Structure 1
Amino acid sequence: MAATLQETPTPEALTLHARSRVLEIAFADGARFRIPFELMRVYSPSAEVQGHGPGQEVLQTGKREVEIVDVEPVGNYAIKPVFSDGHDSGLFTWSYLHHLGANQDALWRAYEERLAAAGVDRDAPMTERAGGACGH
């Protein structure tokens, strides 16, 4: 387990850019990412978004203009952002933020494919049609 902790990238700087709606994060390994709030919101690691198991993910829509209104530190390993749509249950570990930043292009493509498969638009409001919501 110690090896896993040592492999986890450590952030050196974290800045929220409200106007452009991106989280800028710089890691000790030299990686620096600008992660859109929308990407963070649609890939929130919370059970509300990810479900409680494979196949239970809830497709998020209408999050293009979402903002982060607050960020709470969680120990020395994560942050808990509070989004303007009220979502506040996702713990974003340093490792997960590094993953989001490093894989943005593939994650956006996967999100667009899921939208197309569901026959919904990225800007469609969230409705009960998404299914799988667990009421968190």
Structure 2
Amino acid sequence: MADMPLPQSITLHGASRVLELGYADGAVHRLPFELLRVYSPSAEVQGHGPGQEVLQTGKRDVTIVNLEPVGNYALKPFFSDGHESGLYTWTYLYEMGSKQEALWADYLARLAAAGVDRDTPMPGKASGGSCGTGGGCGSSSAEAPAASGGGCGSGSCGCGA
């Protein structure tokens, strides 16, 4: 992909909990760890199809404890809450940075519609069990937004199958 925006610099700012990506055209995207976590491209967050997204809560203070490159196309962050199954492609990261305000507004609107806030703990996390890593599959379907009625909590996960 010749058009793929490749970052020229990648900096983790632990104290401010921000991933900073610098691009050759001078663009700099500062992505908060919380935003990266709640919009993880993983099946645990996105579900396995339209309408199966799982609203993430309680992620305000999440940190990235490790960050690994994946080939020449993505980053794999390891979050302090145990989530590590999302592969963030260069394109996905660039789009997140470009659409950050709209993503935040959408996230806050979905929280309000669900009657929760950013600090509400995720239900059913104590028992573990996730799509590949230990956090979402097999958990209560109460994790999914009311409109979806599905997602990993519905028993339809099939992670790794």
Determine if the TM-score, normalized by the shorter chain, exceeds 0.5. Answer: yes
Partner of residue 71, structure 1: 67
Measure, in 2, the Cα distance between the counterparts of 1:91 and 1:28: 22
TM-score by length of 2: 0.79
Measure, in 1, the Cα distance between the counterparts of 2:25 and 2:93: 14
> Match for 1:69: what amino acid?
V
Change (3 A) 1:135 1:36: farther
* Alignment equivalent of 2:41, drawn from 30, 45, 57: 45
Partner of residue 143, structure 2: 130
Q: Per-residue CA shift, 1:25-63, capped at 9, x if unaligned?
A: 011232111100000000000000000111000000000
State the number of aligned residues. 132
* Alignment equivalent of 2:13, drawn from 13, 17, 32: 17
> Match for 2:92: what amino acid?
Y
Q: Structure 1: which 4+ aligned runs deviate by more than 2 Å?
A: 131-136
* DSSP-derived class of the 1:101 partner: helix
Measure, in 1, the Cα distance between the counterparts of 2:105 and 2:43: 22
Partner of residue 88, structure 1: 84
Is the Cα–Cα contact under 8 Å of residues 37 and 67 in structure 1 kept in the other structure?
A: yes
* DSSP-derived class of the 1:117 partner: helix
Measure, in 2, the Cα distance between the counterparts of 1:135 and 1:17: 36
TM-score by length of 1: 0.93
The answer to which of 70-79 and 123-132 deviates more is 123-132
> Match for 1:114: what amino acid?
R
Structure 1 residue 135: Cα displacement: 8.1
Change (3 A) 1:135 1:66: farther
The RMSD of aligned alpha carbons is 1.2
* DSSP-derived class of the 1:116 partner: helix
Is the Cα–Cα contact under 8 Å of residues 9 and 29 in structure 1 kept in the other structure?
A: no
* DSSP-derived class of the 1:6 partner: coil
Q: Greater share of helix residues, 1 or 2?
A: 1
Partner of residue 115, structure 1: 111
Which has the higher relative contact order, 1 or 2, with Cα contacts under 8 A spaced 6 or more apart? Answer: 1
Q: Per-residue CA shift, 1:81-124, capped at 9, x if unaligned?
A: 00000000000011111011111100000001111111111110
The answer for unaligned runs of 5 or more in structure 2 is: 124-139, 145-150
> Match for 1:45: what amino acid?
P
